[in-house]
Chain A
Amino acid sequence: QSVLTQPPSVSAAPGQKVTISCSGSSSNIGNNYVSWYQKLPGTAPKLLIYKDNQRPSGIPDRFSGSKSGTSATLGITGLQTGDEADYYCGTWDSRLSGFNWVFGGGTKVTVL
């Protein structure tokens, strides 16, 4: 079971909006930046959002990130068939023994 909790799946029609939640705790999301990744089958993960809400160059503004307390959210507007993929949140988790990076369990986005 992942330290960060994501819904297993979300779906919407083309052109609509989906949001993916990522729930954690004060040892991870509450005190560290969150990033989001898109994973298409057979390809390497792609960074979509870093530092909670920043988009790397080349990532369309259809993708957005936000954070409140110990939860973060990825939003995708204007859904396209090419957005069908698995999406993962990630952040550092602070522990007595040091730091571990943690990923959420992943959310499969289906375009209906």
Chain B
Amino acid sequence: EVQLVESGGGLVQPGGSLRLSCAASGFAFSNFEMNWVRQAPGKGLEWVSYIPHSGDTIYYADSVKGRFTISRDNAKNSLYLQIDSLRAEDTALYYCAREFDDGFDIWGQGTVVTVSS
């Protein structure tokens, strides 16, 4: 079964850090571009970051640039998001999503990040 499973979310104080992980299974992870997308409570979908197969040309949303770092380990079939200098507005459900043919065709169930003192 093709699957993405996120982990690493939690409650963190403003200014804190977290490392989110996304474990891929059922497909050749190294062949696909990957993204992180989040949804804040009561809000719409917001794209966060993109990483290609090789991990070279990376893109970030302006709202997270300089604070979030996306990476991948193709040998471990895993995608990561290091999130630093967390703010209240980063509170959201974070999804990893596989990109194929200019669409996000496989999504995980998400991991919740709550930023609060």
Contacts and interface: CB of A to CB of B under 8 A. Distances in A.
A and B together in one complex: yes
Nearest to B104: A47
Nearest to A105: B44
A92 B35 CA distance: 12
Secondary structure class of chain B's binding surface, majority of residues: strand
Nearest to B105: A47
Interface string B87-100: 00000000101001
A90 B37 CA distance: 12
A109 B30 CA distance: 37
Contacts of B35: 101
Contacts of B101: 33, 50-51, 54
Contacts of B47: 90, 100-103
Interface residues of B, number: 24
Interface stretch (B7-15, B18-26, B74-82, B106-114): B106-114
Interface stretch (A19-27, A37-45, A67-75, A77-85): A37-45
B102 interface: yes
Contacts of A47: 103-105
B108 to A, nearest CB: 7
A110 interface: no
Given A45-B95, A101-B50, A88 B45 contact: yes
A86 B43 CA distance: 11
Given A39-B45, A45-B97, A100-B62, 8 more contacts: A45-B107, A46-B107, A47-B104, A50-B105, A51-B101, A92-B102, A98-B59, A100-B47
